[in-house]
Amino acid sequence: MFDPGFPRDADSEGLSDEGQAYVTQTPPPRPAGFGSTVVKIALVMFAVEILIMLGFFWFEAQLPDWKIALVDASLLAVIVATIAYFVFIRPKDRQIRAVMAALEESRLDAENLARFDALTGVLSRRALLEAFDAEVERAKRYGSALACLMLDLDHFKTINDTYGHQFGDEVLHRIARVISEHCRTNDHLGRYGGEEFLIILPETRIDGATKFAERVRSAVAETSLDRNEEHITLSIGVAEWRNGDDSTSRLISQADRALLEAKAAGRNRIIANQPV
């Protein structure tokens, strides 16, 4: 599975001037373990006791027997606590840290499974629609440009029927990689369903999105599938967000209608849903 987050072509053709940087949030650091706190307290207490004893000896102070016994007991308690930490608490502390690390890794794995499509490595439909909602809200707030592409592999059923579904899965993975290599860092590429992909293009007008779609279509058409020099093509529908659109569903419907027109017109082509 390829990493969908690697740097991609930064071609800015079709962008408006309202681009904003995306901020990657990092998880907060884990709190220090309980065991390390215990040993620090024990060492501080031990140092204080030593200083007290040195002070008494320095000034040749005469201490009552009960005070000497109290100091000796305190030193003994500190020593016992330190030994107990290294023998009992520290190993448990390490085990707890290991369990916490394993749980964190499992949580991240679960998030990745929910966020990325297991077959192609691009965004899952759920994550894609969440990103789309966020981009529409940003376009509404700042009046920035936004376009989307609906892509469908032509005659993909024939590939499955001729070479089997395992080869069909390899084709989906390879085509997803080819498409991803042409996307910018702030674009969102996801698998919408079956052999359909959806690309969200922030800060992009319909003319720029159409030119981008042509680059993707040409790259896919030139990609060999390594099976009798087979090639596959794409039909692409393009749509642009318009001020007043309230939801992503309308924009997706426009791109989907344009895609159906491209299919009906003979496939391996691009149809843009021009604003009126």
* Active-site annotation, residues: 195
For residue 120, give Cα distances in angstroms to 28, 101, 111, 197, 254. 30, 28, 16, 10, 25
- Can you tell me the distance from the alpha carbon of 163 to that of 188, in angstroms, rounded to the nearest whole number? 30
Name the helix (H) or strand (E) containing 174: helix 165-181
Element (H, E) at 148: strand 146-153
Note whether 184 and 7 are within 8 A (CB). Answer: no
For residue 21, give Cα distances in angstroms to 67, 137, 199, 252: 66, 16, 19, 25
* Gap between the Cα atoms of 57 and 163, Å rounded: 91
Residue 180 makes CB contacts below 8 A (sequence gap 6+) with 2, 4, 8, 121, 122, 189
- The CA-based diameter of the chain, rounded to the nearest angstrom, is 106
DSSP-assigned states of every residue in 53-94:
HHHHHHTTPPPPHHHHHHHHHHHHHHHHHHHHIIIIIHHHHH
